[in-house]
Amino acid sequence: MGRYTEVYSLDKNIYKKACPILIVGGRLLKDNHNNQILGQVKLKNIVAEQIKAIFINIATYDVLHNQIDASIEYQYLDLQLQRDDACGEQTAIYFTDQRIREIDVKIQKVVFADGKIWEDDSGETTKLHDCTPLNEDLQDELVQQYQRECQSAYGSNSDSCALREYEDYWICTCGAMNWKEEKSCHKCGKSKDWIKFHLDETLLRDNLEEYNTEMEKRRVEQERIQAEQKVEKEKLTKKRNKIIAITSVAAAFIFVVFVVYQSVQFQEYNKLSKGIDKYVNTFSKKVGYDCEDEEWSDIISDPYSFEDRNLIKDKYNLLNQKGAVYALTDDDGSEYSNIYTVTWIPDDMLSDDKISEIKKIVMKKYGDTEKKSDYSLEDYTSLNRDNADLYSWDIEVDKNTKCVLNLVIHRESGEVQLQIVNYDYIETIKDENESGSDYDSDYDSDYDSDSYSY
C-alpha cells in the first residue's frame, strides 16, 4: 500500500452557467502515515480573459453524508490562467477533521487579470456534456472523408466528435467547448457554419465518390509505373548478370592463365634450380682436391699436363644456356695443383633479363644476402644471414666481367667457391693466357675492386 489512499472522488466536468471556471475533477485522499485527510481540486479556465485568483467553497461530509462543519473557503492566488489552462491538481488542501469522507465544491468568486470579478449567483451546477463520437452520426467512411476535408482546409484530421449545440455553449468536432456567441472554435479555428456545411451527408458521399475515383486513377497509374519499373529492373538485372557472367568468365580465364603461368614459372624454376643443384653437387665434391686425385679422374684424363684455368668440360648446359666449365688451381708452382674454383662460362652474353632471372632463382633458393665484395671469404661466415653456415652468394657486375655469380659452399675442410661467369670473362682469361700474365690467386682481382651488388 502506498502512502495515500483515495477515499472519495468528485464528478468530472462540473459546470455552472456563465461561470468562467469548470471543475474538471477532485478527490479526497487519506494519508496512511498520520490518517490526515486532504483534498485536491482541478479547475480550468473556459473563458477568453486571463484569471489571477479563484475562491472556492468546500462543504464536508462524513461517511453517512452528514455535514460536519460549516463550509470551508479556499483561495487559489497569484494565477495566470489563460483559456484552457488548469490549476489545483497539484495543490493539497488539508482538513483538520479526520471524519471527512465526502466534499462538495462550488466556485464562489473569480478575479480576472484586469480586476473584474465574477461572483456566484447561487445558480445550480450541472455536468458539462461529454464529446459525442462522430461515428454515431456518420458511417466510418464518411467520418474519414470529413477528416480529409478538415485536413485540407485546416491542417488537422483528428476530428472525432459530433457537432453539438446546447443552451449557452457548443462542442466543436475537435472536442473543444465554445460559448454560444462564438462563431468559430477558439481551439481549431473552424467556423460553426463550415462544420455544418461539410458534415452534410449528401455532400460527404459525393466528395467520397470523387476521392475514390481519384484514388483509383492513382492506383492504376502507380501500378503502371511499378510495371515499367519492374521491366526496367529486369533489364538492368539481365544486363548486370550478363556483365557479371562476362566478368566471371574473364576472371576465370585470367585465373587459369595466371595458374598456368605460375605453373610454368614453377616448372621453369624447378628446372633451373635442379640445374644449379646438379652443378653444385657435381663439382663441390671435387673442389679442394688435387687434379690427380681420383675425384677428378672422370673429368681430367691427364692431370700431369693440367694447368691453371684449363677447360675441363667444353659442353655444359646451365640455366638453359650452353657453356663451358673451367677449373682454377692454387698455382703455387708445385708439380700438382689443387683445384679450388670451378667456373662456368656461357657461350653467349647473358641478357639483363636473364641475369634478373638468375638473381630471382638464387634469391629464392638461397635467400637474400649482403653485398659481399667488401668482405673476404673468411668474413662470410660472420655475416648475419639464413643458412650462413651452408652457403653465401652474390651477383656482381662490372665493366669487364659483366656478371659473376659467386656461390660459396661451406665444408668442414674449408670453403668451396663455385662461379658462374658471363661471357666477357672468358675473353679476359684468354687474353691473360696469351700474354702470360698470372691470375690473381688471392681473390682480389680487378673485377672485384670495381664491382657492386646487382
Beta bridge partners of 54: 76, 110
How confident is residue 394, by pLDDT bands cut at 50, 70 and 90? low
- pLDDT value of residue 86: 97
Residue 449 CA, chain-centre distance (Å), reads: 60
Task: For residue 395, give every residue at least 6 positions away whose Cβ sits within 8 Å of its Cβ, in sequence order, or none.
Answer: 355, 358, 359, 362, 403, 404, 405, 406, 453, 454
**pLDDT of residue 249 exceeding 90:** no
Task: For residue 221, give every residue at least 6 positions away whose Cβ sits within 8 Å of its Cβ, in sequence order, or none.
Answer: none
- What is the number of structural domains in the chain? 3
Give the pLDDT confidence of 189-229 residue by residue, as tens digits: 999 999 999 999 999 999 999 999 999 999 999 999 999 99
CB 453 within 8 A of CB 359: no
Given 89, 106, 127, which residue is the final one in a domain? 127
378, 436: one domain:
yes
Rounded CA-CA distance 330/55 in Å is: 132
CB 330 within 8 A of CB 307: no
Q: pLDDT exceeding 90 applies to what percent of the chain?
A: 46
Cα–Cα distance list, 451 to 290, 304, 420 (Å)? 31, 35, 15
- Cβ-based neighbour number of residue 248 at 10 Å: 11
Beta bridge partners of 43: 23, 87
pTM of the model: 0.53
Rounded CA-CA distance 390/280 in Å is: 12
How confident is residue 451, by pLDDT bands cut at 50, 70 and 90? very low
16, 83: one domain:
yes
The mean per-residue pLDDT over the stretch 228-247 comes to 90
Given 127, 145, 164, which residue is the final one in a domain? 127
Give the pLDDT confidence of 261-314 residue by residue, as tens digits: 777 777 777 777 787 777 777 777 777 777 777 777 777 777 766 766 677 777
Cα–Cα distance list, 171 to 154, 177, 179, 188, 377 (Å)? 17, 5, 9, 12, 113
CATH of the domain at 71: 2.60.40
Mean pLDDT of the chain: 79
- pLDDT value of residue 413: 44
Least confident of 3-17, 392-406, 439-453: 439-453
Report if residue 151 sits inside a domain.
yes
Task: For residue 252, give every residue at least 6 positions away whose Cβ sits within 8 Å of its Cβ, in sequence order, or none.
Answer: none
The mean per-residue pLDDT over the stretch 36-61 comes to 96
* Residues constituting the chain: 454
49, 163: one domain:
no
* φ/ψ of residue 155, rounded to 5: 75, 20
Q: pLDDT exceeding 70 applies to what percent of the chain?
A: 75
**pLDDT of residue 315 exceeding 90:** no
Domain hosting 442: range is 285-453
Report if residue 213 sits inside a domain.
no
308, 439: one domain:
yes
Least confident of 192-201, 231-240, 318-327: 318-327
Given 107, 127, 147, which residue is the final one in a domain? 127
Least confident of 32-36, 63-67, 183-187, 386-390: 386-390
Cell of 296: 677428378
- pLDDT value of residue 416: 55
- pLDDT value of residue 422: 55
442, 300: one domain:
yes
- pLDDT value of residue 44: 97
CB 446 within 8 A of CB 431: no
Hey, what amino acid is at 199? L
Task: For residue 376, give every residue at least 6 positions away whose Cβ sits within 8 Å of its Cβ, in sequence order, or none.
Answer: 443
CA atoms within 13 A on the CB side of 154: 20
- pLDDT value of residue 177: 95
Give the pLDDT confidence of 72-90 residue by residue, as tens digits: 999 999 999 999 999 999 9
